[in-house]
Amino acid sequence: MAMMRLRREDPRVVGSFRIHRRLGAGGMGVVYLGSDRRGQRVALKVIRPDLAEDQEFRSRFAREVSAARRIRGGCTARLVAADLDADRPWFATQYVPGPSLHDKVGEEGPLAASRVAAVGAALAEGLVAVHEAGVVHRDLKPSNILLSPKGPRIIDFGIAWSTGASTLTHVGTAVGSPGFLAPEQVRGIAVTPASDVFSLGATLAYAATGDSPFGQGSSEVMLYRVVHEDPQLRGTPDALAPLIQACLAKDPADRPTTLQLSLRLKEIAVREARGTGAPAPQAAPRATERRTEALAPPPRPSGSHSAPPARAAAPERPEPSEARGAANPSSRGGTPQRRPRREPPRTTPAARPHTARTPAPRKGEPGSRPPARPRRPSYDRMLRQRLIVFVIVTVLVTLGIAAAQGCQGPV
């Protein structure tokens, strides 16, 4: 949000807040950046002097502020303080850092389908809390949505009046932006939560395409298109087009509720995120599998090295048989027969490959013998510590008894 220096006519202190910068000006008043004694930053809006003299506006302003205090939701700027009886009424909301949706799209272009769905789901969820508090925004548009690091935030709750501003129009008692105003607001019919659904649909269309679904033009032309013409959704992602079309229905009864809209947009956001982000997590495990396969061959050559001793053992087997054949003709050759019996390398070659394989798991998985050795000294240390504690306790007890007896002696 752009900040400007204070002008001469701007106040320096409002209530308990110190004014630092100008954040903007609208049909209702001027918005300032302020802070309290604790350093908490707020967006403080001061009503215009001419509106402050209108008692009807003051009563309406008081109703809106009291309703805003009941809103409980993470998608709205929390109301911090307000003074309805001041010469120029004002109210302060939590300052939300970050650009507006209008500026974000204007500078970087349309958002991706998954991002549009995620932002729309958060906004719809925030509108659920707003409507439960009995408040209808009546002026939801891209410039009233701030993209903070913690998620989108809705500001300026339906209390703006216009007097000749080109981006605002005054039809009966309805106020709003022509390209995002619901048809019933243009006709002067009482607004309902469905009016905010229409404005949210137009806002999502702007986020996805970079333009209003009713194009550009004068206020009269835009209002006529909103009431009589169908929205233009060219360039809207296929996943979002049917839902946005339903939000922009002329009849409020044909539009989805904010709860239905929130659930549907969450599904679309998850689906679109999976479609764009699925290949990346699949490629990672494949790379790890290749790495494990590359690390797996080392034990295989060890097995291949263990095979030759088995082959070498095979020729050793006929050697004792030949010795036995040579021992049969001579009776004195019995002693050489016992030596090959003692040698039998059949068990030793089998044991050797096992010993060759065991060192590898010992490094990764410690065997039972190595950890048993460090446990013995730790056990001895425990015994020593216990003995020392026991000796100290006994000494202290004896000293205490002696002291007690010494105190009782003179008495």
Residue 407 is predicted with a pLDDT of 56
Choose between 217 and 370: higher pLDDT: 217
Question: Do 225 and 260 fall within a single domain?
Answer: yes
Q: What is the pLDDT of residue 245?
A: 97
- Residue 405 token pair: 């007896």
- Name which of 69, 70, 12 is nearest 46 in CA terms: 12
- 227 found inside a domain: yes
Which of 109-118, 165-174, 193-202 bottoms out in mean pLDDT, i.e. has the lowest? Answer: 165-174
What CATH code is carried by the domain that includes residue 76? 3.30.200.20
Which is higher by pLDDT, 10 or 320? Answer: 10
pLDDT band at 56 (very low <50, low <70, confident <90, very high): confident
Same domain, yes or no: 236 and 272:
yes
Q: What is the pLDDT of residue 140?
A: 92
pLDDT at 294 over 90: no
Same domain, 36 and 168: no
Does 138 share its domain with 32?
no
295 belongs to a structural domain? no
| pLDDT (0 to 100) of residue 213 | 95
- 64: domain range? 1-95
Does residue 312 form part of some domain? no
Instruction: Please tell me the total count of domains within the chain.
Output: 2
Q: Look over the chain and give the mean of its residue pLDDT values, rounded to a whole number.
A: 76
- Of 276, 299, 320, the position where a domain reaches its end is 276
Asked if residue 270 and residue 127 are part of one domain, the reply reads: yes
Mean pLDDT calculated for residue range 162-179: 46
Q: What is the C-alpha end-to-end distance of the chain, expressed in Å?
A: 85
Same domain, 6 and 154: no
Hey, how many other C-beta atoms are within 10 angstroms of the C-beta on 390?
10
Structural domain includes residue 116? yes
Query: Does residue 407 lie in a domain region?
Result: no
Buried b or exposed e, range 280-295, using 16+ CB within 10 angstroms? eeeeeeeeeeeeeeee
Cα–Cα distances in angstroms (integers) from residue 358 to residues 63, 106, 107, 236, 322, in the given order = 80, 66, 63, 63, 35
Q: For the whole model, what pTM was predicted? A: 0.61
CATH number (domain holding residue 236):
1.10.510.10
Higher pLDDT, 335 or 240: 240
Annotated catalytic residues are 139
**For range 374-393, the mean pLDDT:** 78
Which of 61, 77, 95 delimits the end of a domain?
95
Kindly state whether residue 68 falls inside one of the protein's structural domains: yes
* Same-domain pairing of 12 and 138: no
Regarding whether 169 and 55 lie in a shared domain, the answer is no
Is 89 among the domain residues?
yes
Query: How high is the pLDDT of residue 256?
Result: 97
Establish if 42 belongs to a structural domain. Answer: yes
Percentage of residues of the chain with pLDDT beyond 90: 41
Is residue 91 located within the same domain as residue 102? no
* Domain final position from 95, 125, 145: 95
Q: 240-246 — which CB contacts under 8 Å span 24+ positions?
A: 240/113, 240/116, 240/117, 240/204, 240/208, 240/268, 243/201, 243/268, 244/201, 244/204, 244/205, 244/208, 244/213, 245/201, 246/201
- Do 245 and 135 share a structural domain? yes
Compute the average pLDDT of residues 173-189: 80
Q: Looking at the structure, do residues 235 and 189 belong to the same domain, yes or no? A: yes
Asked if residue 45 belongs to a known ligand binding site, the reply is yes
- Of 286 and 260, the structure prediction assigns the larger pLDDT to 260
Among 70-79, 284-293, 311-320, 335-344, the range scoring the smallest mean pLDDT is: 284-293
For the chain, percent of residues with pLDDT exceeding 70: 67
Say if residue 89 is in the same domain as residue 114.
no
Tens of pLDDT along 216-260? 989 899 999 999 999 999 999 999 999 999 999 999 999 999 999
